[in-house]
Amino acid sequence: MLLLNLAWQSLKNRRISTSLTVLSIALSVALLLGVEALQKSARESFSSTISQTDLIAGARGGSLQLLLYTVFRIGQATNNIKYASYQEWAKHPAIEWTIPYSLGDSHRGFRVIGTDQNFYQHYRFRRNRQVRFAAGRAPATFTETALGSDVAARLGYQAGTKIALTHGVGAAGILDHDDKPFTVVGILERTATPIDRSVYITLEGMSAVHAGWEEGAPPEPGEEVAVKSLSAEQLKPEAITSFLIRCKSRIDSLRLMREISNYSGEPMMAIIPGATMSELWSTVEYAETALRIVGGFVIVVGLMGMLVAIYTTLNERRREMAILRAVGAGPAKIVTLFVLESLLLAASGCVLGAGFMYAGIQSLQGYVEQRFGLYLRWQGLSQEHFLYMGAVLLAALFIGLVPAWRAYRNTLADGLSVRI
Protein backbone atom coordinates (compact mmCIF):
# COMPACT_ATOMS: atom_id res chain seq x y z
CA MET A 1 0.00 0.00 0.00
CA LEU A 2 2.91 2.30 0.79
CA LEU A 3 4.44 1.71 -2.65
CA LEU A 4 1.09 2.38 -4.32
CA ASN A 5 0.83 5.69 -2.47
CA LEU A 6 4.40 6.57 -3.46
CA ALA A 7 3.64 5.77 -7.11
CA TRP A 8 0.52 7.94 -7.00
CA GLN A 9 2.34 10.86 -5.37
CA SER A 10 5.17 10.57 -7.88
CA LEU A 11 2.70 10.79 -10.78
CA LYS A 12 0.97 13.77 -9.15
CA ASN A 13 4.28 15.61 -8.92
CA ARG A 14 4.60 15.27 -12.72
CA ARG A 15 1.06 16.42 -13.53
CA ILE A 16 1.63 17.71 -17.03
CA SER A 17 3.56 14.72 -18.40
CA THR A 18 1.24 12.34 -16.53
CA SER A 19 -1.88 14.00 -17.95
CA LEU A 20 -0.54 13.94 -21.50
CA THR A 21 0.47 10.30 -21.18
CA VAL A 22 -2.93 9.28 -19.81
CA LEU A 23 -4.67 11.27 -22.56
CA SER A 24 -2.55 9.54 -25.22
CA ILE A 25 -3.42 6.09 -23.86
CA ALA A 26 -7.08 7.07 -23.44
CA LEU A 27 -7.41 8.15 -27.07
CA SER A 28 -5.73 4.95 -28.21
CA VAL A 29 -8.02 2.80 -26.06
CA ALA A 30 -11.08 4.78 -27.17
CA LEU A 31 -10.17 4.15 -30.82
CA LEU A 32 -9.67 0.42 -30.28
CA LEU A 33 -12.88 0.01 -28.26
CA GLY A 34 -14.73 2.30 -30.66
CA VAL A 35 -13.75 0.18 -33.66
CA GLU A 36 -15.14 -2.90 -31.92
CA ALA A 37 -18.35 -1.08 -30.95
CA LEU A 38 -18.72 0.30 -34.48
CA GLN A 39 -18.34 -3.16 -35.98
CA LYS A 40 -21.03 -4.56 -33.70
CA SER A 41 -23.34 -1.62 -34.40
CA ALA A 42 -22.82 -2.05 -38.13
CA ARG A 43 -23.66 -5.73 -37.94
CA GLU A 44 -26.70 -5.11 -35.82
CA SER A 45 -27.83 -2.24 -38.04
CA PHE A 46 -27.52 -4.34 -41.18
CA SER A 47 -29.05 -7.45 -39.61
CA SER A 48 -32.02 -5.53 -38.23
CA THR A 49 -32.82 -3.99 -41.62
CA ILE A 50 -35.17 -6.90 -42.26
CA SER A 51 -37.05 -8.93 -39.64
CA GLN A 52 -39.76 -11.58 -39.61
CA THR A 53 -38.96 -12.53 -43.20
CA ASP A 54 -38.14 -16.21 -43.67
CA LEU A 55 -37.12 -16.25 -47.34
CA ILE A 56 -36.21 -13.93 -50.21
CA ALA A 57 -36.96 -15.31 -53.68
CA GLY A 58 -35.80 -14.07 -57.07
CA ALA A 59 -34.15 -15.05 -60.33
CA ARG A 60 -31.42 -17.64 -60.05
CA GLY A 61 -28.00 -16.12 -59.40
CA GLY A 62 -25.81 -15.25 -56.43
CA SER A 63 -27.35 -15.39 -52.97
CA LEU A 64 -25.41 -12.33 -51.78
CA GLN A 65 -26.45 -10.39 -54.85
CA LEU A 66 -30.11 -11.21 -54.23
CA LEU A 67 -29.83 -10.05 -50.63
CA LEU A 68 -27.99 -6.84 -51.48
CA TYR A 69 -30.26 -5.51 -54.20
CA THR A 70 -33.48 -6.60 -52.48
CA VAL A 71 -32.80 -5.47 -48.92
CA PHE A 72 -29.96 -2.94 -49.12
CA ARG A 73 -30.60 -1.45 -52.59
CA ILE A 74 -27.02 -2.26 -53.60
CA GLY A 75 -26.28 -3.53 -57.08
CA GLN A 76 -28.72 -4.60 -59.77
CA ALA A 77 -30.61 -7.77 -60.60
CA THR A 78 -29.33 -9.78 -63.53
CA ASN A 79 -32.83 -10.94 -64.39
CA ASN A 80 -36.47 -10.68 -63.38
CA ILE A 81 -39.09 -13.32 -62.67
CA LYS A 82 -42.54 -13.53 -64.22
CA TYR A 83 -45.34 -11.93 -62.29
CA ALA A 84 -47.42 -15.05 -62.96
CA SER A 85 -44.76 -17.13 -61.17
CA TYR A 86 -44.92 -14.77 -58.20
CA GLN A 87 -48.71 -15.07 -58.05
CA GLU A 88 -48.42 -18.84 -58.09
CA TRP A 89 -46.05 -18.86 -55.16
CA ALA A 90 -48.06 -16.26 -53.26
CA LYS A 91 -50.93 -18.77 -53.15
CA HIS A 92 -48.73 -21.55 -51.75
CA PRO A 93 -50.41 -23.08 -48.66
CA ALA A 94 -47.20 -22.79 -46.60
CA ILE A 95 -46.88 -19.02 -47.16
CA GLU A 96 -48.49 -16.51 -44.81
CA TRP A 97 -47.67 -13.36 -46.82
CA THR A 98 -45.41 -12.07 -49.57
CA ILE A 99 -44.04 -8.65 -50.51
CA PRO A 100 -43.18 -8.17 -54.22
CA TYR A 101 -40.39 -5.82 -55.33
CA SER A 102 -39.89 -4.40 -58.79
CA LEU A 103 -36.60 -2.52 -59.24
CA GLY A 104 -34.80 -0.81 -62.07
CA ASP A 105 -35.68 2.89 -62.04
CA SER A 106 -34.40 5.77 -59.95
CA HIS A 107 -35.09 9.39 -59.08
CA ARG A 108 -32.13 11.74 -58.70
CA GLY A 109 -29.92 8.92 -57.43
CA PHE A 110 -32.51 7.26 -55.18
CA ARG A 111 -33.85 3.79 -55.97
CA VAL A 112 -37.47 3.41 -57.05
CA ILE A 113 -39.29 0.40 -55.60
CA GLY A 114 -42.48 -0.93 -57.13
CA THR A 115 -44.46 -2.84 -54.50
CA ASP A 116 -47.98 -3.30 -53.13
CA GLN A 117 -49.85 -2.70 -49.87
CA ASN A 118 -48.26 -5.78 -48.28
CA PHE A 119 -45.04 -3.80 -47.89
CA TYR A 120 -46.66 -1.20 -45.65
CA GLN A 121 -48.65 -3.83 -43.77
CA HIS A 122 -46.16 -6.65 -43.25
CA TYR A 123 -42.58 -5.37 -43.61
CA ARG A 124 -40.73 -5.37 -40.28
CA PHE A 125 -37.31 -4.10 -39.21
CA ARG A 126 -35.48 -4.06 -35.87
CA ARG A 127 -37.45 -7.07 -34.71
CA ASN A 128 -41.02 -5.78 -34.75
CA ARG A 129 -41.03 -2.18 -36.00
CA GLN A 130 -43.46 -1.47 -38.82
CA VAL A 131 -43.21 1.00 -41.68
CA ARG A 132 -45.25 4.09 -40.76
CA PHE A 133 -46.01 7.43 -42.36
CA ALA A 134 -44.84 10.75 -41.01
CA ALA A 135 -47.24 12.44 -43.40
CA GLY A 136 -49.83 11.31 -45.91
CA ARG A 137 -50.56 7.72 -46.92
CA ALA A 138 -49.42 4.84 -49.11
CA PRO A 139 -49.76 5.19 -52.90
CA ALA A 140 -52.96 3.60 -54.16
CA THR A 141 -52.93 4.39 -57.89
CA PHE A 142 -50.35 4.13 -60.65
CA THR A 143 -49.68 7.89 -60.56
CA GLU A 144 -48.91 8.16 -56.84
CA THR A 145 -45.68 7.71 -54.89
CA ALA A 146 -44.41 7.66 -51.31
CA LEU A 147 -40.94 8.81 -50.29
CA GLY A 148 -38.43 7.62 -47.73
CA SER A 149 -37.52 10.24 -45.15
CA ASP A 150 -34.04 10.87 -46.59
CA VAL A 151 -35.43 11.42 -50.08
CA ALA A 152 -37.97 13.96 -48.86
CA ALA A 153 -35.45 15.76 -46.63
CA ARG A 154 -32.61 16.01 -49.16
CA LEU A 155 -34.78 16.97 -52.12
CA GLY A 156 -37.19 19.17 -50.19
CA TYR A 157 -40.28 17.29 -51.35
CA GLN A 158 -43.64 17.25 -49.62
CA ALA A 159 -47.13 15.93 -50.27
CA GLY A 160 -48.41 17.16 -53.62
CA THR A 161 -44.99 17.48 -55.28
CA LYS A 162 -44.80 16.17 -58.85
CA ILE A 163 -41.75 14.07 -59.71
CA ALA A 164 -40.48 12.22 -62.78
CA LEU A 165 -38.64 8.90 -62.62
CA THR A 166 -35.49 7.97 -64.54
CA HIS A 167 -35.02 4.71 -66.40
CA GLY A 168 -31.94 3.07 -64.93
CA VAL A 169 -30.02 3.54 -61.68
CA GLY A 170 -27.64 6.36 -60.74
CA ALA A 171 -25.20 7.34 -63.45
CA ALA A 172 -26.62 4.54 -65.60
CA GLY A 173 -29.95 6.34 -65.93
CA ILE A 174 -30.67 6.82 -69.61
CA LEU A 175 -34.01 8.57 -69.90
CA ASP A 176 -36.44 10.55 -67.77
CA HIS A 177 -40.09 9.50 -67.80
CA ASP A 178 -41.23 13.13 -67.99
CA ASP A 179 -44.42 12.19 -69.78
CA LYS A 180 -45.63 10.16 -66.78
CA PRO A 181 -45.18 12.23 -63.60
CA PHE A 182 -45.98 10.93 -60.14
CA THR A 183 -47.61 12.81 -57.27
CA VAL A 184 -46.15 12.48 -53.78
CA VAL A 185 -48.94 11.33 -51.43
CA GLY A 186 -46.94 10.15 -48.43
CA ILE A 187 -43.61 10.48 -46.60
CA LEU A 188 -42.39 7.61 -44.44
CA GLU A 189 -41.11 7.98 -40.90
CA ARG A 190 -37.38 7.69 -40.42
CA THR A 191 -36.13 4.13 -39.93
CA ALA A 192 -32.31 4.48 -40.29
CA THR A 193 -32.45 1.70 -42.92
CA PRO A 194 -32.34 1.68 -46.74
CA ILE A 195 -36.10 2.30 -46.59
CA ASP A 196 -35.29 5.98 -45.99
CA ARG A 197 -33.37 6.21 -49.25
CA SER A 198 -36.02 4.83 -51.60
CA VAL A 199 -39.00 6.02 -53.62
CA TYR A 200 -42.08 3.78 -53.52
CA ILE A 201 -44.68 3.35 -56.24
CA THR A 202 -47.23 0.66 -57.02
CA LEU A 203 -46.51 -2.29 -59.29
CA GLU A 204 -49.03 -0.79 -61.70
CA GLY A 205 -47.08 2.47 -61.56
CA MET A 206 -43.91 0.62 -62.60
CA SER A 207 -45.80 -0.83 -65.55
CA ALA A 208 -47.23 2.58 -66.44
CA VAL A 209 -43.86 4.34 -66.76
CA HIS A 210 -42.64 1.57 -69.06
CA ALA A 211 -45.70 1.46 -71.29
CA GLY A 212 -44.43 1.46 -74.86
CA TRP A 213 -41.13 -0.16 -73.87
CA GLU A 214 -42.26 -3.63 -74.93
CA GLU A 215 -39.26 -4.03 -77.23
CA GLY A 216 -36.84 -3.07 -74.46
CA ALA A 217 -36.27 0.45 -75.82
CA PRO A 218 -38.08 3.76 -75.30
CA PRO A 219 -40.84 4.65 -77.78
CA GLU A 220 -40.03 6.95 -80.65
CA PRO A 221 -40.77 10.69 -80.17
CA GLY A 222 -44.47 11.30 -80.68
CA GLU A 223 -45.33 7.64 -79.99
CA GLU A 224 -45.37 7.84 -76.19
CA VAL A 225 -48.33 6.21 -74.48
CA ALA A 226 -50.47 8.71 -72.59
CA VAL A 227 -51.23 7.84 -68.99
CA LYS A 228 -54.96 8.42 -69.39
CA SER A 229 -55.14 5.95 -72.26
CA LEU A 230 -53.60 3.07 -70.30
CA SER A 231 -55.93 0.12 -69.82
CA ALA A 232 -56.06 -2.31 -66.91
CA GLU A 233 -54.33 -4.90 -69.10
CA GLN A 234 -51.45 -2.53 -69.85
CA LEU A 235 -51.05 -1.80 -66.14
CA LYS A 236 -50.82 -5.46 -65.21
CA PRO A 237 -47.21 -6.24 -64.22
CA GLU A 238 -45.40 -8.69 -66.44
CA ALA A 239 -42.39 -9.24 -64.20
CA ILE A 240 -40.97 -8.37 -60.79
CA THR A 241 -37.45 -8.47 -59.42
CA SER A 242 -37.88 -10.44 -56.20
CA PHE A 243 -40.27 -11.02 -53.31
CA LEU A 244 -40.12 -11.54 -49.55
CA ILE A 245 -41.79 -14.54 -47.95
CA ARG A 246 -43.16 -15.17 -44.48
CA CYS A 247 -43.95 -18.84 -43.87
CA LYS A 248 -46.77 -20.02 -41.67
CA SER A 249 -44.24 -22.23 -39.89
CA ARG A 250 -40.46 -21.93 -39.68
CA ILE A 251 -40.28 -25.66 -40.38
CA ASP A 252 -41.66 -24.98 -43.86
CA SER A 253 -38.83 -22.59 -44.77
CA LEU A 254 -36.24 -25.16 -45.87
CA ARG A 255 -38.80 -27.24 -47.73
CA LEU A 256 -40.17 -24.17 -49.50
CA MET A 257 -36.65 -23.02 -50.38
CA ARG A 258 -35.99 -26.34 -52.11
CA GLU A 259 -39.32 -26.17 -53.94
CA ILE A 260 -38.55 -22.70 -55.28
CA SER A 261 -35.07 -23.74 -56.37
CA ASN A 262 -36.55 -26.72 -58.25
CA TYR A 263 -39.41 -24.71 -59.77
CA SER A 264 -40.00 -25.85 -63.35
CA GLY A 265 -41.68 -22.64 -64.52
CA GLU A 266 -38.43 -20.64 -64.69
CA PRO A 267 -35.00 -20.54 -63.01
CA MET A 268 -35.54 -19.24 -59.46
CA MET A 269 -33.84 -19.38 -56.11
CA ALA A 270 -34.66 -18.57 -52.49
CA ILE A 271 -32.35 -17.57 -49.65
CA ILE A 272 -32.64 -17.33 -45.88
CA PRO A 273 -31.75 -13.71 -44.99
CA GLY A 274 -29.96 -14.56 -41.74
CA ALA A 275 -27.80 -17.27 -43.28
CA THR A 276 -26.88 -15.09 -46.25
CA MET A 277 -26.10 -12.21 -43.88
CA SER A 278 -23.54 -14.46 -42.18
CA GLU A 279 -22.00 -15.08 -45.58
CA LEU A 280 -21.85 -11.32 -46.09
CA TRP A 281 -19.97 -10.81 -42.83
CA SER A 282 -17.48 -13.51 -43.76
CA THR A 283 -16.61 -11.51 -46.89
CA VAL A 284 -15.89 -8.34 -44.90
CA GLU A 285 -14.05 -10.10 -42.09
CA TYR A 286 -10.69 -9.08 -43.56
CA ALA A 287 -11.65 -5.42 -43.34
CA GLU A 288 -12.71 -5.85 -39.71
CA THR A 289 -9.43 -7.56 -38.91
CA ALA A 290 -7.52 -4.75 -40.59
CA LEU A 291 -9.33 -2.19 -38.44
CA ARG A 292 -8.45 -4.14 -35.29
CA ILE A 293 -4.81 -4.29 -36.36
CA VAL A 294 -4.76 -0.52 -36.92
CA GLY A 295 -6.32 -0.02 -33.47
CA GLY A 296 -3.71 -2.34 -31.97
CA PHE A 297 -0.86 -0.36 -33.50
CA VAL A 298 -2.36 2.85 -32.12
CA ILE A 299 -2.36 1.26 -28.67
CA VAL A 300 1.31 0.28 -29.14
CA VAL A 301 2.14 3.88 -30.03
CA GLY A 302 0.34 5.11 -26.92
CA LEU A 303 2.19 2.65 -24.68
CA MET A 304 5.50 3.59 -26.26
CA GLY A 305 4.67 7.19 -25.39
CA MET A 306 4.17 6.11 -21.80
CA LEU A 307 7.53 4.34 -21.80
CA VAL A 308 9.25 7.45 -23.14
CA ALA A 309 7.48 9.66 -20.56
CA ILE A 310 8.67 7.49 -17.66
CA TYR A 311 12.12 6.82 -19.05
CA THR A 312 12.94 10.47 -19.66
CA THR A 313 12.27 11.31 -15.99
CA LEU A 314 14.84 8.85 -14.68
CA ASN A 315 17.65 11.41 -14.48
CA GLU A 316 15.38 13.74 -12.49
CA ARG A 317 14.55 10.92 -10.06
CA ARG A 318 18.03 9.54 -9.43
CA ARG A 319 18.28 11.14 -5.99
CA GLU A 320 14.78 9.85 -5.14
CA MET A 321 15.78 6.30 -6.05
CA ALA A 322 19.08 6.57 -4.14
CA ILE A 323 17.26 7.72 -1.00
CA LEU A 324 14.79 4.84 -1.27
CA ARG A 325 17.69 2.42 -1.53
CA ALA A 326 19.38 4.06 1.48
CA VAL A 327 16.30 3.64 3.69
CA GLY A 328 16.11 -0.05 2.89
CA ALA A 329 14.09 -0.35 -0.29
CA GLY A 330 15.33 -3.44 -2.06
CA PRO A 331 15.48 -4.07 -5.81
CA ALA A 332 12.04 -5.66 -5.78
CA LYS A 333 10.46 -2.53 -4.31
CA ILE A 334 12.15 -0.25 -6.82
CA VAL A 335 10.92 -2.42 -9.66
CA THR A 336 7.44 -2.63 -8.14
CA LEU A 337 7.26 1.16 -7.82
CA PHE A 338 7.85 1.71 -11.53
CA VAL A 339 5.54 -1.12 -12.54
CA LEU A 340 2.80 0.38 -10.36
CA GLU A 341 3.28 3.76 -12.05
CA SER A 342 2.93 2.11 -15.46
CA LEU A 343 -0.20 0.24 -14.38
CA LEU A 344 -1.74 3.40 -12.89
CA LEU A 345 -1.14 5.28 -16.12
CA ALA A 346 -2.55 2.44 -18.24
CA ALA A 347 -5.55 1.87 -15.95
CA SER A 348 -6.38 5.58 -15.94
CA GLY A 349 -6.08 5.62 -19.73
CA CYS A 350 -8.39 2.60 -20.05
CA VAL A 351 -11.06 4.13 -17.82
CA LEU A 352 -10.83 7.51 -19.55
CA GLY A 353 -10.79 5.82 -22.98
CA ALA A 354 -13.97 3.88 -22.20
CA GLY A 355 -15.53 7.17 -21.12
CA PHE A 356 -14.46 8.82 -24.37
CA MET A 357 -15.99 5.97 -26.36
CA TYR A 358 -19.29 6.20 -24.48
CA ALA A 359 -19.42 9.99 -24.86
CA GLY A 360 -18.56 9.69 -28.55
CA ILE A 361 -21.34 7.19 -29.21
CA GLN A 362 -23.88 9.30 -27.35
CA SER A 363 -22.90 12.54 -29.08
CA LEU A 364 -22.52 11.14 -32.60
CA GLN A 365 -25.45 8.73 -32.53
CA GLY A 366 -27.95 11.10 -34.13
CA TYR A 367 -25.53 12.43 -36.76
CA VAL A 368 -24.27 8.98 -37.83
CA GLU A 369 -27.82 7.63 -38.04
CA GLN A 370 -29.00 10.56 -40.13
CA ARG A 371 -25.91 10.88 -42.34
CA PHE A 372 -24.98 7.23 -42.88
CA GLY A 373 -28.07 5.30 -41.80
CA LEU A 374 -26.02 3.42 -39.20
CA TYR A 375 -27.73 2.86 -35.87
CA LEU A 376 -25.18 3.28 -33.06
CA ARG A 377 -26.24 1.85 -29.74
CA TRP A 378 -24.33 1.69 -26.45
CA GLN A 379 -24.38 -1.96 -25.37
CA GLY A 380 -22.07 -1.65 -22.40
CA LEU A 381 -18.54 -2.98 -22.16
CA SER A 382 -18.42 -6.39 -23.79
CA GLN A 383 -16.13 -9.31 -23.09
CA GLU A 384 -13.94 -8.23 -26.02
CA HIS A 385 -13.59 -4.75 -24.50
CA PHE A 386 -12.39 -6.18 -21.18
CA LEU A 387 -9.95 -8.46 -23.03
CA TYR A 388 -8.52 -5.49 -24.91
CA MET A 389 -8.13 -3.44 -21.72
CA GLY A 390 -6.60 -6.44 -19.97
CA ALA A 391 -4.07 -6.73 -22.79
CA VAL A 392 -3.23 -3.03 -22.40
CA LEU A 393 -2.63 -3.46 -18.66
CA LEU A 394 -0.51 -6.55 -19.27
CA ALA A 395 1.57 -4.71 -21.84
CA ALA A 396 1.94 -1.79 -19.42
CA LEU A 397 3.25 -4.17 -16.77
CA PHE A 398 6.04 -5.41 -19.03
CA ILE A 399 6.80 -1.93 -20.33
CA GLY A 400 7.18 -0.72 -16.73
CA LEU A 401 10.00 -3.22 -16.22
CA VAL A 402 12.24 -1.34 -18.67
CA PRO A 403 12.58 1.96 -16.69
CA ALA A 404 12.47 -0.05 -13.44
CA TRP A 405 15.56 -2.02 -14.45
CA ARG A 406 17.32 1.17 -15.53
CA ALA A 407 16.43 2.97 -12.29
CA TYR A 408 17.76 0.05 -10.25
CA ARG A 409 21.05 0.13 -12.14
CA ASN A 410 21.33 3.87 -11.56
CA THR A 411 20.94 3.47 -7.80
CA LEU A 412 23.77 0.96 -7.68
CA ALA A 413 26.10 3.42 -9.39
CA ASP A 414 24.96 6.65 -7.77
CA GLY A 415 24.61 5.95 -4.07
CA LEU A 416 23.41 9.04 -2.28
CA SER A 417 25.24 11.53 -4.47
CA VAL A 418 23.89 12.28 -7.85
CA ARG A 419 26.44 13.00 -10.53
CA ILE A 420 25.51 15.82 -12.84
Give Cβ neighbours of residue 325 (< 8 Å, ≥ 6 apart): 334, 411
15 and 160 in a single domain? The answer is no
Strands 198-202 and 110-115: parallel
Do both 26 and 59 map to the same domain?
A: no
pLDDT at residue 416 in the model = 45
Q: Is residue 133 part of a domain?
A: yes
Question: In 3D, which of 136, 220, 138 has the Cα closest to residue 179?
Answer: 220
Residues 157 and 168 in one domain: yes
- Are residues 54 and 202 located together in one domain of the fold? yes
User: Do 171 and 320 sit in the same domain of this protein?
Assistant: no
Same domain as 294, residue 318: yes
For 313-336, what is the mean pLDDT? 67
Q: Which range (116-130, 249-263, 310-324, 385-399) has the least confidence?
A: 310-324
Q: How many domains does one find in the chain? A: 2
Q: Domain for residue 419, yes or no? A: no
Calpha distance 258→246 (Å, rounded) = 15
Q: Which domain holds residue 148?
A: 49-283
Tens digits of residue pLDDT in 247-305: 998 888 999 999 999 999 999 999 999 888 888 777 777 777 787 788 788 888 888 87
pTM above 0.85, yes or no: no
CB of 400 within 8 A of CB of 341? yes
Q: Answer with the one of 259, 283, 307 that is the final residue of a domain.
A: 283
**Could you tell me if residue 112 is inside a domain?**
yes
Closest listed residue to residue 194, CA positions, set 284, 282, 104, 112: 112
* Per-residue pLDDT reduced to its tens digit, 386-400: 888 888 888 888 887
What is the DSSP annotation of 149-211?
A: HHHHHHHT--TT-EE--EESSGGG--EE-TTS-EEEEEEEPP-SSGGGGEEEEEHHHHHHHTT
User: Do 183 and 325 belong together in one domain?
Assistant: no
Please indicate, yes or no, whether residues 158 and 270 belong to a single structural domain of this protein: yes
328 is a domain residue: yes
Residue at 62 is within a domain:
yes
Residue where one domain finishes, among candidates 283, 310, 336 = 283
Does 420 map to a domain?
A: no
Q: With bands split at pLDDT 50, 70 and 90, how would you rate the model's confidence at 411?
A: low
136/270 same-domain check? yes
Residue 320 lies in a domain: yes
Q: What is the mean pLDDT of the chain?
A: 82
Domain boundary among 283, 303, 335: 283
> Are both 359 and 385 inside the same structural domain?
yes
Specify if 344 maps to a domain: yes
Residues 23 and 87 in one domain: no
Regarding whether 302 and 248 lie in a shared domain, the answer is: no
